[in-house]
Amino acid sequence: MAKISDIYNLNKNQYELDFVNIDSSKDFPVYLNPFVFSSREDAFSVEATRAIKSFFQYNLELIQAKQSDEARRNFSNLNEPNETCLGMSKGNPEGKGMGKENTDDVFESILNSEIIQGGIADNLEDTAIFIDGIGKDKVSDMTTNIIRLNLIKYTQEQCNLHNIPMTSGVASGLFWDISANGWRQEYTDMLVIDTRKILLVPKGVVSYVKEFNHEKYHQHYALEFLQDDHLKRNTRLVQTTYDKKGQIKRRFVTKTSLVEEELPQGKFPLVGFTGKYPQVFKKFKEETSKQIKSLDNADFDDIDLTSLINYLISELQSTPAGGTDATKYHRLMIGILELVFYPHLINPVKEHEINEGRKRIDICFDNAAQRSGFFYRLQHAFQIPCQYIFFECKNYSDDIANPELDQMIGRLSPNRGKFGIILCRNIDNEALFIQRCKDTYKDQNGLIIPLTDKDIIKVLEKHKEGVDYIDQLLSDKARVIMS
């Protein structure tokens, strides 16, 4: 088989696509994990987190209320998802983590675990830290089932964006319904390849799950906490070295001695430790969440970035301005925007409807900026609402002017966002248009920044050098407009 981009002749590679460009005949070794979602603020991750927390916390309540049979039935629907082609199956994707017997075993492990009885864990991802037999593969399987509806909606949006045909009236498969606290399915448009349903997954939210695991928690948090504790109490595990004058040089406790006498390796010992010292697990989660970041494009596909950028610049320069080539320009810009803005912006949606469909925005991205960068500062430092970032593509041969600015102003609102970018081929009198943008900002109608071909080409050229010039460019333009 071939990758999604090849099957549907998208003429784009992974750098230009928001979804993991899977080969549907084999799995790709990345995973969906609730811990990753919970550390992010983009719309997809927030909604996925809501569904996962709803499922796990509701079933915890059932277990604690001695209604384990109903909880067991809910867990029985966490079967083998093979629609995403993620994980570590051999050959054809098999979703090897969660067969019927496996789901029964997982539930019994959770039901009988001290993490449930003792209230140590209250999130689905915690089970991978404390329960033997549950790892990143099984957590990913459970997550996929629970958020299946979120993935279906994302797949529909990406298929619409890239004109990928879908099949109508296909059974969705079960997904967790937050409002009903139960499983539901519906008939909807689905991506079907050779009779098999496929779910596309945003590349920005998948992970190798290297940061969140029981080995790291044991080695770098639990044992180090115990080292400090033994030093403070001056126990027999404390060793001392002296200098030539007989003065104490160093006092220390080895991790080896702690493993041998107090906290052996493995998940089960961590249950008792965490019950006694819950603040250590809390610290582990808080500090690890700050280390979570999206994978690089190079993690998904090994391509010659310089050749790709040269090709995109050539395509942009050779695309004529004017209505005849507006669609070509629009499609080209979607790929370029994905390349230069990832991972700060994800989930592009074409012709996003607003005001009950009376207006449309050319392209709308989710703001996924984490802890740094222009889009993070925009929201947290400048207090400009920007959960979504709007783009208008204007393949005009003439200058853009007030009508185009007014059109973008009409798209913005406090709920959707007050920031937009107008993409155009050229502006003869850029100083005048910037002044119009300044007036718009002063009138509290939103911050709007224009980007021309010249800007985009410079951004692409810098990208070849590994320089995130788009951040500097937007910051510089915003500074002028907001001054």
Question: Measured between alpha carbons, how far is 144 from 351 in angstroms, rounded to an integer?
Answer: 27
386 and 379 Cβ atoms separated by less than 8 Å: yes
Tell me which DSSP letter residue 1 carries.
Answer: -
The strand order across the sheet containing 345-354 reads: 345-354, 359-367, 388-394, 419-424, 447-451
Domains of the chain: 4-205 (no CATH), 214-289 (no CATH), 304-482 (3.40.91)
Sequential pLDDT tens for the chain (483 residues): 589 999 999 999 999 999 999 998 889 999 999 999 999 999 999 999 999 999 999 999 999 899 999 999 999 999 889 899 999 764 444 444 455 557 888 899 888 888 877 778 889 999 999 999 899 999 999 999 999 999 999 999 999 999 999 999 999 999 999 999 999 999 999 999 999 999 999 999 999 999 999 999 999 999 999 999 999 999 999 999 998 888 999 999 999 999 999 999 999 999 999 999 999 999 999 999 999 999 999 999 999 999 999 999 999 999 999 989 999 999 999 999 999 999 999 999 986 555 454 445 589 999 999 889 999 999 999 999 999 999 999 999 888 888 999 999 988 999 889 999 999 999 999 999 999 999 999 999 999 999 999 999 999 999 999 999 999 999 999 999 999
Tokens 């199956």 -> residue:
89
- H/E stretch holding 240 reads strand 239-242
- H/E stretch holding 448 reads strand 447-451
- For the chain, counts of helices (H) and of strands (E): 22, 12
pTM of the model: 0.92
Instruction: Output the CA torsion sign for 77, 79, 85, 87.
Output: positive
Question: Measured between alpha carbons, how far is 34 from 278 in angstroms, rounded to an integer?
Answer: 20
148 and 174 Cβ atoms separated by less than 8 Å: yes
Question: Measured between alpha carbons, how far is 409 from 359 in angstroms, rounded to an integer?
Answer: 12
Question: Measured between alpha carbons, how far is 16 from 13 in angstroms, rounded to an integer?
Answer: 6
343: cis peptide before it, omega within 30°? yes
